[in-house]
Each structure stands twice: as C-alpha cells, then as structure tokens.
Structure 1
Amino acid sequence: MEITALGWGLTIGLIAALFVLDLGMGVLRPHHVGFKEAAAWSTFYILIALGFGVVLATQVGWDYGGQYFAGYIVEKSLSVDNLFVFVIIMSTFAVPDRFQQEVLTFGILLALILRAILIALGATLLSLFSFMFLLFGLLLLWTAVQLFRHRNEDPHVDDNLLVRAARRFLPVTDEYVDGHMITKVDGRRVVTPLFIVLVAIGGTDILFALDSIPAVFGVTQEAYIVFVANAFALLGLRALFFLVTGLLDRLVYLSTGLSLILAFIGVKLILHWAHDLSDAVPVITTPFSLAVIGVILVVTTVASLVKVRRDPTAKAHAGTVVVRRAPGRPAQEQEEE
C-alpha cells in the first residue's frame, strides 16, 4: 500500500486536531466528567474511527480496510486493559477527579509519541529481517501465557522502575497543588504527586506498547495502518476511562480473553514466518482474524456479565505479566508457590 506524503500529512493533521480537541477538554477545562458526557465523547471518537476506516477502504481497497478494522479492534480491546491499570494508578495516588483528565490527556500524548517511534522501528525490522515475525510471535505467546497465569492479579505501582527512580532522585510534595506538576516549597522546586502519576502512566505505556505493537503487526504489516489503528484507539481513551470506570470490575474474564487474543495473533505471526519458508504452511486471513477476535470479545463479555450476576462478589483484575516478588525472598521459592 502506497501512502503519499500528502496522505501522511493529512492523517497526522487530523489526529493532531482531534488530540488538540481532547487536550482542550481535559486540560484547559478541568472538571468532573459525568456519564452522559463520557458516553457522548466515546461515541464521537468511535464514529470518527469507523468513518476513517470506511474512507480508507474506499480509497485503497477493502482488504486493507479489513486490516485497519482488525487492528483497531485489537488495540481498542487492549486499551481497555490499559484502563484497568489507569484506575489502579489513580486510586493508589488518590488523584482528585478534576485532575484526572489532565493526567490521562498527557498520558495519551506520551503513548502516541512512544508508539509512533516503536511502529517505525518495528516496520523497519520486519522489512529487513523476516525472522522478526517469529520473535514477535514468540513474544506474544509468552505474554499470553503470563497474562493467563496471573489473570487474577493486578500490577503494582511500586514495581514501576520509573516511579521508583522518580521517588528516589526527585523531591516530592504530598499535596496536589492546583494541578501543577512542579511547584515551589520553601523556595525549593519540588514535583507534585501529579508528576509521579504521569510517570507511572508513562511507564505503563511503555509496557503496553511492547505488547500492542507486535499484536497489531500480527494483523497487518502496513506501518500506516498500524499507526492509525493505534492513534484512533488511543484518542478515545480519556472519555472511555470515565465511561467504563464503574463497569471494569464486572469484566472478570477480560484478562483471559486478551490472553487468548494475544496467543492467537502470536500463532498467526509464527505461521506467517513459516509460510515464507514453505508455501505448504497455511496463513490466517484477515477476515478469519476479525471473526476470531470478535467472537473472543463477545464470549468474554457475556461470560463476565453472567459470572457477576451469579456471583456478585466476583471482581475483575487487570492481570499482569510481571510477578510481584516479596522483599528478601528468592524468586525460585515464590515461583514454586
């Protein structure tokens, strides 16, 4: 698929305009976001993403259009798991409602920048070295296994290397100072908890990008489609956070569903690599991928709601691929437990 410089420019301009709109809502006008407002903005971003996919398909063909929709669905489903972690971070640091939008908006900006860099790097590696499909596939399979094994756990903010470094090397105040990230106390510059929250979200973005970028490359090898699928999935994240925060606890099988999706895409990448070596190895088509991912998400959601209805005490967890180790205990001993 050939995308001209003008096409790239118009796409980046559209995404930048949407982000500026989101920035204005989240930072320049901090306020508590109600359900109606969150639902309206979530619907708006989803319609924009769907409309872009239709326009793309009419311009370059429905084969590429199908790849975009598959990539968007994968990224959107993974972004819901992002929201789990964001909720944990917000709760851990007791972020006031009026400042949560600011943190989310800047966190999304960091994610967009980081993923653009990783997409360019991933596309270059895939074009130069075919075995990268094998490595990406194995990475996703490992992630899927870890996520399934620890599906009933939540990640801990204290395990975030960037947060630990910030707390160790930077002076931090205990107060949220009118939404500022840096302030002065007794004539000395200090960072506020809002800065640490942003660092925590930025560190989380790095971990999620390492999974989501290989995952979306599993449904398309077009860097342009990978970029726009990620961008449109992330742009609606701020509104989606306020829309589904109260519903996340009910998605008790979400981590299980995501682990199955990652495993499926990992197998698809490995088959793609093997197909380049021998035509006898089958490949998984985009329509089949869309169908499998859609079925997993529907079954996961319905099963979660049924489970919560039968057992109101059931609670969802974000899942984690990093095992938390208690201080002073050998890793082997904890792994055996």
Structure 2
Amino acid sequence: MQSIGSPLMWSLFAAFVLVALLVDFFAMSKQGAHRVSTKEAAIWSLIWVGVSFVFMGWLWWYVGGTSTDEAARTLANGKALEFLTGYLIEKALAVDNIFVFLMLFTYFAVPAEFQKRVLMIGILGALVLRAVMILVGAWLIAQFHWILYVFGAFLLFTGIKMWWAAGQEPDLDNNPALKWIRGHFKIAPDYDGEKLFTMVNGVKMATPLLVVMLLIGIVDIVFAVDSIPAIFAITTDPFIVLTSNVFAILGLRAMYFLLANMHERFHLLSYGLAIVLVFIGAKMLLIDIYKIPVAVSLGFTAVTLAVTMILSLKIPPKGGKQHEGGAYPFGAKPKSEDQR
C-alpha cells in the first residue's frame, strides 16, 4: 500500500508521541491527584489542537506544499486535506467516547481527582490498540479490496444503530462486561486513593477504580472498531490514518474535562455523528462507482456537526431519568486522607 510516510517521517512522529506522553505523565505525576479545572482543560485542549495544526502545516511543507513542482503541491494539498478531514472525524467520534467515559465515572461515582489517571491509562491503551488495528486494516485493504465494502456496510449499520440509541440511557447494571468483571474479581467496597488493588480484612481485592479502567479499555475497543473504518473511507495511506487518529486521541483527556459539564448542552450530537457515519459508509460502498472528494467529506462532516450542536443549544433535551452520581455500585465511598 502506497504511503507518503518515509522512515524519517515515521521516526519523527514516533519520537514526538513518546515525548508528548512523557511530558503528560511527568506533569500528571508532579501535580498528583487533583480536580482538573475548566481553565486548565481549556488551555491543554487548545495546546493539543494547536500542535495538531502545526503538524498538518509541517506535513504540507514536507511533502512539497511550497515546491515549484505543481504535482508536489497537489500531493501536499491533498494529504493535508486528508489529515484535516480524518482528524475532524476522529475528534468528533471522540466526543461521543467522552460522554461514555462521563457515564462510567458518574455510575461509579469516581472522585474527580482520580479521573485524570484513569483517562491517561485509557488513552495509552487506545493508542496501542489503534496502531495495531490500523496496521492490520491497511494490510487487509491492500490484500483484499473488497474489505472496503465490509467496512462501508459496518459503518452504515453502526450509524443507524447510533441514531436509534441516541438519547437512551445505557443499562450498565445489566452490562455483560460489568457482570463478567464482578464474577471474576473480588471488588473492594471502598476507593483507596488511586490504587488499583487494596487489602480488605487481609484479603487482596480490586478497587472500583480498576473496574472503571477495565470498562474504559473495553470502550476503547468498541470505539476503535467504529472509528478505524471511518478514517479508511477518507484515505488508505497508513501514515495519514495513524497520525490523524493519534493527534485526535492525545487531546482526549483535556477535552473530557472541558466537555464533562457540557454533555447535556450537546444532547443532539449523537444524531449528527450517526449521520456522518452513514455518509462515510455510503462513500465506501460507492468507492468504485463514484469517489466522493475529500473536500466534500470534510464540508459535510463539519456542517453536520455544527448544525447538530447549534440545534442542541436551541432545542432543550427531553426529560429523562439520569443515573445519580454517588450511588457507588459496590457500596464504595472514597477513603479520607486519615483512613489511607
């Protein structure tokens, strides 16, 4: 499969991701467990978005955006547009991912100061998982062109399913993954700081925080299965697919804390995401009949998301029973500093 990714580009990208994660981990370790403010989340969100656009500019320049060769400029413009479209789609799907994280944190009443670590572990898992799935997906497409039709049909199904599920509160009490975890782990009734395991009456048990981490890992898998085919509808270049995914994920933790208190305002966003997935699925199914330009995909995605967000602000959400935080499914409550 053809790719613009040279060994140098792959090496520079890998080095950047490693440095970014180290900086993030260092900052998290230095700050310790604390509640992330909206201001802090907004600053980091802007930083990650800014870094993503700087990368896009560098990509455009490196491929030949300033070259006197028209073919090189055309290639650079096309790759930059593919990256931007893929980044926007993955970022939009990440918002839905964030709302699921919020639901889990609310259901398990995870103290705000512990959420940061859980999200960081979840992001690491998502990065590794998506890298593997993208490489496998790229190989499958290179070997079997018809797999694009499978991806397209899957996205159509996912989009329709998302539309019907929008606005409905998931039943976590009867979730198969949660039932499996409860059946295979001894779970402590209390949180014990940021620890994943604790001792209760001489018995080693998993804390509710570990349960949340495991569920977020499962959520990562589910969302990766949805989002990876979506980006392959925009481009089959593994370098563009992976970089747009990674940059969308790197800012996920900051974006969570920024949007955590705004999920009710954007209650119609899931409908917009469903429409986008159906559009992308149709695009993949039509790929050998008519190739929809990347610019059209970008415009359609941006307009659809913008319209649903504006309508969310104008149309009040329907009343519904929400799970109340603080109900601790295992009878858990955070230990005080004196108890730890």
- Tell me the TM-score normalised to structure 1 length: 0.87
| Matching of residue 290 in structure 1 with residue 293 in structure 2 | no
> Letter of the aligned partner of 2:201 in structure 1?
D
> Contact between 1:253 and 1:316, CA under 8 Å: does it hold in 2?
no
**The one of 173, 186, 189 aligned to 2:204:** 189
Q: Deviation at 1:297? A: 1.0
Superposed counterparts of 1:132-171, under 5 Å:
132-158=147-173, 160-171=175-186
Q: Deviation at 1:242? A: 0.9
* Partner Cα distance (2:96, 2:112) in 1: 21
Q: Secondary structure at the match of 1:250?
A: coil
Runs of at least 5 residues in structure 2 that lack an aligned partner in the other structure: 64-75, 323-340
Q: Deviation at 1:21? A: 2.0
User: Deviation per CA, 1:12-63, whole angstroms, max 9, x where unpaired?
Assistant: 1111211222223345522111111111000000000111111112222110
Superposed counterparts of 1:64-83, under 5 Å:
64-83=79-98
Q: Which residue is 1:37 aligned to? A: 40
* Partner Cα distance (2:36, 2:145) in 1: 46
User: Deviation per CA, 1:184-240, whole angstroms, max 9, x where unpaired?
Assistant: 223322110000000110111111011000011111111111111111111111111
**The one of 19, 23, 26 aligned to 2:25:** 23
- Structure 1's 160 and 5: CA in aligned 2 closer, same or farther, altered over 3 A? farther
User: Deviation per CA, 1:73-112, whole angstroms, max 9, x where unpaired?
Assistant: 0000000000110000000100011100000100111111
Q: Secondary structure at the match of 1:249?
A: coil
Q: Deviation at 1:10? A: 1.2
Aligned length: 307
> Contact between 1:81 and 1:255, CA under 8 Å: does it hold in 2?
yes
> Contact between 2:108 and 2:212, CA under 8 Å: does it hold in 1?
yes
* Partner Cα distance (2:174, 2:4) in 1: 42
| Matching of residue 95 in structure 1 with residue 115 in structure 2 | no
**The one of 292, 299, 302 aligned to 2:307:** 299
> Contact between 1:252 and 1:316, CA under 8 Å: does it hold in 2?
no
Q: Which residue is 2:334 aligned to? A: none
- Structure 1's 203 and 284: CA in aligned 2 closer, same or farther, altered over 3 A? same
Q: Which residue is 1:53 aligned to? A: 56
* Partner Cα distance (1:27, 1:74) in 2: 31
After superposing on structure 2, the runs of 4+ consecutive aligned residues of structure 1 that deviate more than 4 Å are 313-317
- Structure 1's 15 and 134: CA in aligned 2 closer, same or farther, altered over 3 A? same
> Letter of the aligned partner of 1:115 in structure 2?
R
* Partner Cα distance (2:320, 2:229) in 1: 29
User: Deviation per CA, 1:295-334, whole angstroms, max 9, x where unpaired?
Assistant: 10111111111113xx7x66899xxxxxxxxxxxxxxxxx
* Partner Cα distance (2:210, 2:183) in 1: 14
- Structure 1's 82 and 220: CA in aligned 2 closer, same or farther, altered over 3 A? same
Report which stretch shifted further, 126-135 or 175-184.
Answer: 175-184
Q: Which residue is 1:331 aligned to? A: none
Report which stretch shifted further, 26-35 or 163-172.
Answer: 26-35
> Contact between 1:141 and 1:267, CA under 8 Å: does it hold in 2?
yes
> Contact between 2:135 and 2:238, CA under 8 Å: does it hold in 1?
yes
Q: Which residue is 2:274 aligned to? A: 259
> Letter of the aligned partner of 1:287 in structure 2?
A
Q: Which residue is 2:122 aligned to? A: 107
Q: Which residue is 2:13 aligned to? A: 11
Q: Secondary structure at the match of 2:236?
A: coil
Q: Secondary structure at the match of 1:189?
A: strand
User: Deviation per CA, 1:110-137, whole angstroms, max 9, x where unpaired?
Assistant: 1111111111111110110011110000
- Structure 1's 3 and 99: CA in aligned 2 closer, same or farther, altered over 3 A? same
Runs of at least 5 residues in structure 1 that lack an aligned partner in the other structure: 276-280, 318-337
* Partner Cα distance (2:310, 2:118) in 1: 32
Q: Secondary structure at the match of 2:291?
A: coil
* Partner Cα distance (2:17, 2:245) in 1: 11
* Partner Cα distance (2:179, 2:170) in 1: 14
Q: Deviation at 1:5? A: 2.1
Q: Which residue is 1:323 aligned to? A: none
Q: Deviation at 1:138? A: 0.1
* Partner Cα distance (2:233, 2:254) in 1: 27
Percent identity over paired residues: 36
Q: Which residue is 1:175 aligned to? A: 190
- Tell me the TM-score normalised to structure 2 length: 0.87
